[in-house]
Amino acid sequence: MSDLGAARGLVPASESDRGDTAAFVQRAARVDDSGVIRLKQRPDGRVGLWVRTGFDVLASRSVFGTVEPTDVVADVGALTASLGTTTPGTPVSLGFALPAAWRGALPAADGYTHLDDVPARDLIALARKGTRVARDESGALGPASSLLDQEVVEVTAADEHAGITMRAVFALTAMGFVRDAQGHEISEDSPIEAIAADEPVRVWCSAAWVRIVARYGTVYQRRSVLGVSVL
């Protein structure tokens, strides 16, 4: 990563981008107990926001704006506090950079093949079924790995295949990346019919990653050779 010294800040391009950043950071605090978020400047004028979820899946979304340093690991708590106190147009302080808190490279930005689209309703239904199973079968350490590692959706195109695991489905829903037709977050009590019937979740793959793209964010699951088991 480049220039991971004292962070000089994030400047969202608009209040909408600031709000989207705050929403992402809030959810990141719920799914990643390491308490860090990675911000990386993109060449298209957006800042990529990245978090490691508790499901061994990466979650990301982007906002228009700039960040300096251009690739930095920040404390979620410090970023949350700064977003709540800084005024529009001024840099949002990232606190002290924490380069050692993030190991490994981010997924590549290109090199993906679009396989197919999955109805968002179907993934929410799978997440709810998986949650019920997890409640019945979880031990002291949380959901069993056998549940999380199940490939619950199989997507194919030509000679390409990708299996979406319950880990990715849980990460997608925990981050609020699927919402209803009015843009509201889906809760456990939200009717499935509130999600537009034609709302897609797009599935892409590369040699190393399965990229699952919803309207409000993306999750990245490492490719594996697990057997398919549909709930």
User: Measured between alpha carbons, how far is 48 from 108 in angstroms, rounded to an integer?
Assistant: 12
Residues of the domain holding 138 = 113-222
Q: What is the mean pLDDT of each run of 10 residues along the chain (231 residues)?
A: 57 93 92 90 97 92 95 93 82 91 91 94 92 70 70 86 91 93 87 94 95 96 56 37
CATH code of 74's domain: 3.10.150.10
In total, how many domains does the chain have? 2
Q: For residues 120 and 217, state if they share a domain.
A: yes
Q: What pLDDT shows up at residue 40?
A: 97
- What is the value of pTM for the model shown? 0.87
Give a yes or no: residue 53 inside a domain. yes
H/E/C letters for each residue in the chain?
Answer: CCCCCCCCEEEECCHHHHHHHHHHHHHHHHHCCCCEEEEEECCCCEEEEEEECCCCCEEEEEEEEEEECCEEEEEHHHHHHHHHHCCCCCCECCCCCCHHHCCCCCCCCCCCEEEEEEEHHHHHHHHHHHHHHHHHHCECCECCHHHHCCEEEEEEECCEEEEEEHHHHHHHHHCCCCECCCCCECCCCCCHHHCCCCCEEEEEECCCEEEEEECCEEEEEECCCCCECCC
pLDDT at 142: 56
* Domain final position from 77, 101, 125: 101
Same domain, 117 and 215: yes
- Do residues 140 and 77 both lie within one domain? no
Residues 139 and 175 in one domain: yes
